[in-house]
Amino acid sequence: MSELLLLFDLLLTVTLLVLATAAIMSREPRRAVILYIAFGLLLALVWARLRAPDLALAEAAIGAGLSGALMLAAARRATAAKRQHASQPGTKGETS
């Protein structure tokens, strides 16, 4: 039983670290943000396992959900601005 639990712990930890590394190393903003959201949701799962259900709820809703939504909007703006910058330099504008 405890070996199985340890195996589960190891699996969670390794996935967590891999997701964090992938989010950090990704060059494309959108991809990085989506990986960060996945990381936050997995972190919520880990905290549920560590007997912190309140924190799991908060992390899933605030840490992954709202931060993720905020950063996705920013990533979208950054990509749009870069594309516009590349096509017609000198203009500053927002596209939607």
Partner 1 sequence: MTPAWAKVLIPIVLIAIGAVLVWAFSLAALEGGDRLALIALERVPESGVSNPITSVLLNFRAYDTLLEVAVLLTALLGIWSLGPAAPAFQPASPILGGMIAWVVPLLILSTGYMLWAGGHAPGGAFQAGALLGAAGVTLALGGDASAGLPGETRLRFLSVLGVLVFTAVGVILMALGYGFLTYPEGYAKWLIIFIETAATLSIGVTLAAAYLGGEPRDERTSRSAT
Partner 2 sequence: MITQFLYGGSGILLFLLGTWSFIVHPPLIRKLIAINVMGAGVFHTLVALAYRGLTAPADPVPHALVLTGIVVAVSATALALAFGQRLDRDHGSSADDD
Q: What is the 3-state secondary structure (H, E, C) of the chain?
A: CHHHHHHHHHHHHHHHHHHHHHHHHCCCHHHHHHHHHHHHHHHHHHHHHCCCHHHHHHHHHHHHHHHHHHHHHHHHHHHHHHHHHHHCCCCCCCCC
Nearest to 46 by CA among 17, 74, 87, 23: 17
Residue 46 binds which entry of partner 2, partner 1, none, with Cβ cut-offs from 5 to 8 Å by kind? partner 2
Cβ 34 to partner 1, closest distance in Å? Answer: 15
**Binding of partner 1 at residue 17 (CB under 8 A)?**
no
The binding track of 62-81 with respect to partner 1, each residue x by CB under 8 A or -, is x--xx--xx--x---x----
**Binding of partner 2 at residue 9 (CB under 8 A)?**
yes
**Binding of partner 1 at residue 24 (CB under 8 A)?**
no
Choosing from 41, 66, 88, 96, the residue that interacts with partner 2 (CB under 8 A) is 66
- The residue ranges that bind partner 1 (CB under 8 A) are 53-54, 56-58, 61-62, 65-66, 69-70, 73, 77, 94, 96
